[in-house]
Chains A and B, each alone.
Chain A
Amino acid sequence: MLPADWKPSRAAAYRADRVERGDRLQGNVSVQCQVCVIGTGAGGAVAAAELARAGLDVVMLEEGAYLTGEDYGRLSPIESIKATYRDAGMTFTMGSPGILMPYGRCVGGSTVINSGSAFAMSEETFAYWKRTHGLPGLEWPDVARHFQRVGRTVRIGAVPEELMGGNGRLLREGAEALGLAGEVVTRNAHGCLGRGRCYLGCPENAKQGTNLNYVPMALEAGARLYTHCRAERVLSEGGRAAGVQARATGGGARLAVRAGAVVVACGAVFTPILLSESGLLKGNRHAGKHLRIHPASRVIGLFDREIKGHIGVPQSYHVTGLMPRDLVPEGIFVPPFLLAPAVPGMGRGHLELMKQYPRMGLIGYRVIDSGEGRVAGTVMGMANVKYDLSPQDTRKLVEAMQASGEILFAAGAKRVWLPVFGRGEAGSVDELRRLLSRPVAAVDIELAAYHPHGTLRMGIDEKDSATRPDGSLFGVEGVYVADASLFPESPIVNPQLTVMALAGVVAERLAEKRGLTLAA
């Protein structure tokens, strides 16, 4: 474990003797280890820490930089995005319509830039996974034990009332007025001051991204970390994992890692791409397919009182009463640079509305998608993610939009702006319903997605899935997957804890194969 006087602000400098920047390597380097873990996000960091603490010699590879709150605090919002997001956050799906889908690229991966909502998947959802995909050898008590283990490490707790912020409170007020069940969000934030910048990296080191806990734990247990290093190939010899070939970002030195086992945790989009480019997915019929993303959008309400949504935790309350219909309205809030393009008008008219920023309320919503997309390699260095929004999911989004608009009106909004082309503004619930009563085309909705999963789903055999329930990839021995790619179905809740718990299971199974057990 970490020493008693451990402070997250020390994370980036912690065990500096075991951290190297790939872009500063002098010439090509070869290293040897027992397990190479690629990616240090929700899945990779947990797997690396558990394996290292079980006694295995681990090398972690991460494409991004190691930053902490002190760094984000110094940067402007757009500079933070550039430092922590892949391609400065300008990543889209290709399909109808194109959907903004950002990914973290730094030590800690998307846990550094996520909103910090932390929920364990329910036993009922897991039972559904079992019913539909078998998952032999994976039982709820095991998974539940890993949820508890992860929950202790990332310090989960409900958002305190004083940090809920005006935006979360108005969502609660509106939902209660409509008789919709909801709850205060539980988060992996400790010492949160409600600075409202979670998705830009927490300047207080309060949000417990894996850069602040599991990565330092792995280093403490003897693992080595190479940052600014992009894995280019997972190597195999005679049907067995042999190591990883990586390259410093910016095209510098090469790093060759010899390892008997490789854990790939680059996220649900980049793991299938890396494995496919390594030639390890030939004949694997389900690899790269079954992509689900939880498509999301938002509505903005204008109030005649101050909401000051930017103060407090941005995502502090969510509506649970619509989950049976696959709809999840969540309070979110964003700084002016993200809100400005969604505010109608131009010139002085636009500015006058922007000056109402403290009077705006924002509800985001995501839907549990029944449609599927796929990851089809890369085009010009960018992930080629094919995803067409299905008619059923389009209807769900419109339903969620209408419900969220009604919640805003119930909380006292005077006007609501919709993210739909040609249906800009509603001044009352009746007008909102009228505007949305005509069919809405998928391509006319402004969409984003933050939860890609399912592209190497686990299951019984190759006829149904790409990986086994212990994370091992079909077709090659010693290659494991430990990220959101593994999900056979949606976890319904926000995914980070489920990724972490499954990564814990994968690490445990791998350790057991070596005759080791996880540390207490």
Chain B
Amino acid sequence: MTPVAWSEPRLLSQRDARTLAALAEVLVPLDAEDVPLGRVDLVARIERLLEGENRVFLRMTRLALWMLEYSPPFCGEGIARFSRLAADGRQRCVAWWETRPSWRLRNIYYLCKITVLSHYYDDEAVAAAVGYRP
């Protein structure tokens, strides 16, 4: 399945969108044949959630994405940004975040992870494909 082109970000920045895309590629197989993950417009969905809400949530989301984007030097992946790493580098980086002993650091990453996964699986067709048929 060809991933859809995401909407132009309005609340998030282009850099945020690139970080999200790079993280999404690690967390969900966008080319899965039987589950239409690739058709989800992640940026549009996230912005629909954040629109009109307290700006703190937008700022928190953007800050968490920024920290992920600039984390590779701390993960031992050199000075590249997260969105510019090769797929295996990004996976190692995500594994680094997931295993931080500090719960505050882990929570920064969880915010990014929950943002990505919950919006993919909120899509009706994706949810139905994994067996959610209320």
Contacts and interface: CB of A to CB of B under 8 A. Distances in A.
B28 A336 contact: no
A211 to B, nearest CB: 22
Contacts of A341: 110, 113-114, 117-118
A78 B132 CA distance: 15
Could you say which of A339, A341, A421 has the most chain B C-beta atoms within 10 Å of its C-beta?
A341
Nearest to B99: A422
A354 B118 CA distance: 12
B86 interface: no
Nearest to A379: B56
Given A90-B57, A346-B91, A78 B113 contact: no
Nearest to B57: A90
Contact of B131 (A77, A79, A348, A357): A357
A431 B103 CA distance: 24
Of B29, B48, B131, B133, most A-chain CB atoms within 10 Å: B131
Interface string B85-120: 000000100100001000100110010011001111
Q: Is the interface of B mostly helix, strand, loop or mixed?
A: helix
Contacts of B27: 346-347, 350
A452 B26 CA distance: 37
B8 interface: no
Contacts of A364: none
Interface string A330-345: 0000011111110000
A190 B98 CA distance: 44
A78 B124 CA distance: 11
A173 to B, nearest CB: 21
Residue with the greatest number of chain A CB neighbours at <10 A, chosen from B27, B37, B99: B27
B134 A82 contact: no
A195 B132 CA distance: 11
A82 B57 CA distance: 13
B134 A311 contact: yes
Contacts of B45: 78
Contacts of B48: 78-79, 82
Of the candidates A88, A339, A340, the one having the most CB atoms from chain B within 10 angstroms of its own CB is A340
Interface in A66-84: 76-79, 82
A409 B107 CA distance: 30
A54 to B, nearest CB: 38
Interface residues of A, number: 39
Interface string A88-103: 1010000001100000
A340 B134 contact: no
Interface in A329-387: 335-341, 346-348, 350-351, 354-355, 357-358, 380-382
A497 B91 CA distance: 48
A357 B49 contact: no
Interface residues of B, number: 38
Nearest to A203: B134
Given A78-B119, A336-B130, A380 B54 contact: yes
Contact of A336 (B54, B113, B126): B126
A115 B26 CA distance: 34
B134 A421 contact: no
A19 interface: no
Contacts of A77: 122
Contact of B134 (A78, A196, A357, A382): A196
Contacts of A421: 103, 106
A79 B106 CA distance: 27
B127 A335 contact: yes
Contacts, number: 100
A347 B53 contact: no
Contacts of A346: 26-27, 91, 94
Contact of A335 (B99, B103, B132): B132
Given A78-B45, A337-B118, A351-B28, A358 B131 contact: yes
A210 B28 CA distance: 40
Contact of A88 (B57, B117, B124): B57
B20 to A, nearest CB: 15
Nearest to B87: A347
A65 B123 CA distance: 25
A443 B130 contact: no
A87 interface: yes
Contacts of B26: 346-347
Contact of A347 (B29, B107, B118, B133): B29
B130 to A, nearest CB: 5
B121 A336 contact: yes
A197 interface: yes
Given A347-B28, A351-B32, A337 B134 contact: no
A197 B134 contact: yes
A228 interface: no
Contacts of B118: 78, 337-338, 340-341
Contact of A355 (B117, B122, B124, B130): B130
Interface in B30-85: 32, 35, 37, 45, 48-50, 53-54, 56-57
A444 interface: yes
Contacts of B106: 421
A292 interface: no
A310 interface: yes
A354 B35 CA distance: 10
14 contacts: A76-B122, A88-B57, A335-B121, A337-B118, A337-B127, A340-B117, A341-B110, A341-B118, A347-B28, A347-B91, A354-B130, A358-B131, A382-B56, A443-B103
8 pairs of A and B residues whose beta carbons are closest in the complex: A337-B122, A336-B121, A358-B131, A340-B117, A443-B103, A337-B121, A340-B121, A337-B118
Interface of B: 26-29, 32, 35, 37, 45, 48-50, 53-54, 56-57, 91, 94, 99, 103, 106-107, 110, 113-114, 117-122, 124, 126-127, 130-134
